[in-house]
Amino acid sequence: MAMEYVWETAEEINRDLAKRLRNIRRRRAISQEKLSRMSGVSLGSLKRFEASGQVSLLSLTKLAMALGLADEVRELFSQVPYKDIEEVIRENR
């Protein structure tokens, strides 16, 4: 099986995700304080997420739901293509 190279670290991917969520929050004119109240995620956790990309999966889901993005989270990993025929066979066992 060929090696797949990933050019970003997990931290870089998370920071990019945080940046995208922050941009959605800003374009909807929602303050951090308001999103914190809407989602039930503490203000400190939200600020840490937007600054560093670090947040629990549960908090990320709550933030997404508060912004009306539940479907995007729900669909995560739902359309993953098969890597090879062996993967298809293993899934159907």
Q: Give residue 2's pLDDT band: very low, low, confident or very high (50, 70, 90).
A: low
Output the CA torsion 9→7→26→73 (10° steps).
Answer: -80
What CATH architecture applies to the domain 10-91?
Answer: Orthogonal Bundle (1.10)
Q: What is the pLDDT of residues 66-81, one digit of tens each?
A: 999 999 999 998 888 8
> Residue 8 carries which side chain, given as an amino acid letter?
E
What is the DSSP secondary structure assignment for residue 54, as one 8-state letter?
A: -
pTM: 0.83
Q: What is the pLDDT of residues 3-23, one digit of tens each?
A: 577 789 999 999 999 999 999
Which of 86, 56, 69, 62 has its CA nearest to residue 28?
A: 69
Angle at 74 between CA 35 and CA 67, to 5 degrees: 20
